[in-house]
Structure 1
Amino acid sequence: MQAGRFIRQLRESDISAAIRAAEQKTSGEIRVLISRRKPKNAVEAARKAFVKLGMTRTRLRNAVLIYVAPRARQLAVIGDKAVHERCGEQFWQEVAEQMATQFKASKFTDGIVGAIQKVGELLALHFPRMPDDKNELPNSVAKE
């Protein structure tokens, strides 16, 4: 699927609202990136984007990126060091598989929102919101 068509089908306001809702319960940060590129490996592309988006600079190293490359029909979910240490690779795979199932049914926004909710639950469990918490990253959908 072409990235432009994919993006037009997204309800970006629903995605941003889901990020805001998830981040109300955690000090963690969540970003969504839709890539127009066609990477050979979505996880590697997500890691590069993670750095480029400044996600390694969060105070507690507890950011998560949901990366979608519609042209390549690939996606990845990755977390910074502190998050990954608490959940491991299997969690990322489960979230990605749930998204892929929704995508196959052309429920793109629902797939992303579901992933945000699942990631938000994990972040809230391990990184509860702190009184002095600041929103360190934008809640909007990033595009490249």
Structure 2
Amino acid sequence: MEHSPVRKLLTEAGQRQVEARIKAAEAGTSGEIVVMVVEESSRYRHASVVGALFSSMIVAVAVGHFQGGDGMWHFLGVFVPLFIVFHELLVRFAPLRRLFARKGDMADAVGKASLAAFYAKGINGTEAATGVLIYISLFEHMVRVVADKGINEKVDPDAWPELVGGIVQGIRSGEAAAALSEAIDRCGELLSRHFPIREGDRNELSNQIRY
């Protein structure tokens, strides 16, 4: 856990706060709330290649201009090593790679990864199909809410964008724990209206933040 994505987002106290709020929210509903934090939803290899091509081409042209080099072989002699170096930098350092990742590609990757996580983590396996995933992808600066079919049949889908917006804003302002806690409270309120706590209800999914 020490080097997990959760630690990039929350302090240990913040993590305990969020997990306590999940427990409190679920005390009033038969629904299950899961929070998951990931480093990134895709490796964006295309962005690494495009970024390396763009960067090495600009530098190679500039070097050729100042050195007075002429011809394709001189250009390639500078361009190829630069491409290798820039590509390695982009692969290894996410903030640099993000400069060349298209927003549409990131949104698509987060959508697919959050849905895959919903099934991979068994959130779709609750007794009444009342699991909901709050998925946070750090590289893309994006949040998605994935709700099971039981919730989608009763909760207005327009309720989720407001919840997502609050989390994103809180993370940007350095108040991730507070924003997540507020979102979990809101999620608990929405679920309790349609899925109140039942006699003999049990905690089907762990309250621990996933990563």
Q: TM-score, normalised by structure 1?
A: 0.91
- State the partner residue of 1:104: 172
1:86 match: secondary structure: coil
Shift of 1:6: 2.2
Unpaired segments ≥5 residues, structure 1: none
Deviates more, 1:134-143 or 1:75-84: 75-84
- State the partner residue of 2:40: 37
Is structure 2 residue 208 aligned with structure 1 residue 140? Answer: yes
Is structure 2 residue 124 aligned with structure 1 residue 121? Answer: no
Distance in 1, matches of 2:205 and 2:173, equals: 30
Shift of 1:36: 1.6
Deviates more, 1:93-102 or 1:23-32: 93-102
Picking from 135, 149, 158, the partner of 1:81 is 149
Is structure 2 residue 28 aligned with structure 1 residue 25? Answer: yes
Query: Residue type matched to 1:36 in 2?
Result: E
Picking from 112, 123, 127, the partner of 1:59 is 127
User: For the structure 1 residues 67 and 10, does the alpha-carbon distance in structure 2 shift closer, same or farther, using more than 3 Å as the test?
Assistant: farther
Unpaired segments ≥5 residues, structure 2: 43-105
User: For the structure 1 residues 103 and 9, does the alpha-carbon distance in structure 2 shift closer, same or farther, using more than 3 Å as the test?
Assistant: farther
Picking from 5, 16, 20, the partner of 2:8 is 5
Aligned partners of 2:36 and 2:210 also within 8 Å? yes
Shift of 1:7: 4.3
Kindly name which structure, 1 or 2, has the bigger radius of gyration based on alpha carbons. 2
- State the partner residue of 2:50: none
- State the partner residue of 2:163: 95
Give the root-mean-square deviation of aligned CA atoms: 1.7
Distance in 1, matches of 2:202 and 2:183, equals: 22
Query: Residue type matched to 2:136 in 1?
Result: V
Distance in 1, matches of 2:134 and 2:121, equals: 12
Which structure is higher in strand share?
1
2:132 match: secondary structure: strand
Query: Residue type matched to 1:68 in 2?
Result: I
Deviates more, 1:35-44 or 1:98-107: 35-44
Distance in 1, matches of 2:19 and 2:158, equals: 26
Query: Residue type matched to 2:37 in 1?
Result: I
Shift of 1:37: 2.0
Distance in 2, matches of 1:10 and 1:46, equals: 26
How many pairs align? Answer: 142
Q: TM-score, normalised by structure 2?
A: 0.63
1:11 match: secondary structure: helix
